[in-house]
Amino acid sequence: MFSKILIANRGEVAVRVIRACKEMGIKTVAIYSDADSTALHTEMADESYCIGGPLVKDSYLNMRAIVTLAKRVGVEAIHPGYGMLSENPDFAQMCEENDIVLISPGAEVMRRMGQKEMARETALKAGVPITPGSPVLKDAEDAFLWAERIGYPVILKARAGGGGKGIRIVRDKDQLISSLEQVKKESASSFGDDAIFMEKYLENVKHVEVQIIADKAGKVLALGDRDCSVQRKNQKLIEECPAPALSEEVREKMYEAAINLAKECGYVTVGTVEFLLLKDEFFFMEMNTRLQVEHSVTEMVCGIDIVEWQIRTAAGVELPFIQEDIAHNRHAIECRICAENAKSFAPSTGTVELLHIPGGVDVRFDSALYQSYEVTPFYDSMLGKLIVCSDTRDGAIRKMKSALSEFVLVGVDNNRDMHMKFMDNVRFVVGNYDTGICQKVL
């Protein structure tokens, strides 16, 4: 097992990883930017070092500075968290070349599954259903030809995209050129790669994902499924485990598909396979080769510390449990608490003047917030995740309503009231909602 790990991230996920390391007896090294000098993760870690200026490109994305520091302080591994460098194969390669373990599936798997057209090819080889789609588009003429072949509406996707960026829905040929230019521009700016491909756009679908974990001996397990259909502009807002509209027959097929895909690409550690569900048919969307923001909601149901076992499997420890050991008889819901204006949804900043975190049985708040903490404009707007668990879905909804009513954050605009609307929405309560629910609730 590793004795010292550097966390190449910030905020809630850095705190989450540090907590897991403390329980495992592993020393931790935190990095921070000038803007994060008073951040919670810098106080919790055994060692903390400033890595650069407030912009992520100067600090949390500065690969060379991070690896140089890791070698200097003598860490054996780096945990990338989620976002930032967590799915960057060049960073994984740099770590490998410097004899540092990046807690991830490795550079080769990241490249294969991170470039979406290669991921689709891998899914096909694994027998996983995919939607009709194109290779990387050569130019506008090529885009028109593929759109006619696939049939409108289509969706343009950045090859290296993620986090809801680099995506545009195109409903007719008049929108195609402008959408293509927008996606290419956004992709080049966000990911340094303007390669675009096209898929058939499926409407009125549910977004369901399977959490997998794999060890170096080749064992792959499905820890559970999540419904992530409550989204605004492709950004997830609420997740629940298990997906309420999934039949046991479809669930088993989806688990089998996710496991087969992981085996096909030689996956190790924690990952997520995302699907689009249309009635009883599902289609591969993408694979996230990292820890997911919403891993917490699965932990509450399966009873396994996903971060702990991510670290253990990266160190070569074999999984001691089998698929039949994974619990799935409870229900959990997660609400992402974000700093945003309640009307415009624009990101909000400010100082936390008052903070009250809800408590009680099976109530959890994963966050790096504390009273007097300053929310700056430099980073993602998510402040934390409120998670509850109960024996039934109805019980989980009631518990979430209670927890939200108790949550108090003064000084920074946030979306607590928005989540309360969902907990009272008939479609959400019944469980038959799809990715269009935000348009009806907000």
Whether residue 163 is predicted with pLDDT greater than 70 in this model: the reply is no
Domain annotation for the chain: domains and CATH numbers:
4-103 (3.40.50.20), 132-200 (3.30.1490.20), 206-441 (3.30.470.20)
13-to-1, 185, 258, 290, 383 alpha-carbon distances in Å: 21, 29, 25, 12, 11
State the DSSP string of 307-329: HHHHHHHHTTPPP---GGG---S
Bridge partner list, 278:
281
Tell me how far apart the alpha carbons of residues 87 and 106 are, in angstroms, rounded to a whole number.
9
Cis peptide before 242 (omega within 30 of 0): yes
pLDDT tens digit sequence for 178-223: 999 999 998 887 777 888 999 999 888 999 999 999 999 999 999 9
Higher pLDDT, 279 or 107: 107
Give the tokens for residue 377: 């404009």
- Token couple for 155: 């969706």
Quickly count: other Cβ atoms within 10 Å of residue 328's Cβ. 16
Active-site residue 290, yes or no? yes
Closest listed residue to residue 205, CA positions, set 429, 440, 433, 428: 433
Please provide the average confidence, as pLDDT, over all residues in the chain.
Answer: 94
For the beta carbon of residue 147, count every other beta carbon within 10 angstroms: 23
Q: Are the beta carbons of 439 and 427 closer than 8 angstroms?
A: no
423-432: long-range contacts (C-beta < 8 A, 24 or more apart)? 423/397, 428/230, 429/397, 431/244, 431/245, 431/393, 432/245
Segment 320-348 mean pLDDT = 94
Section 155-181 average pLDDT = 86
Give the whole-number percent of the chain exceeding pLDDT 70: 99
Residue range 36-77, pLDDT digits in tens? 999 999 999 999 999 999 999 999 999 999 999 999 999 999
Where are the extended beta strands (E) located within 81-219?
A: 101-102, 154-162, 165-170, 196-200, 206-214
Catalytic residue among 226, 290, 330, 364: 290
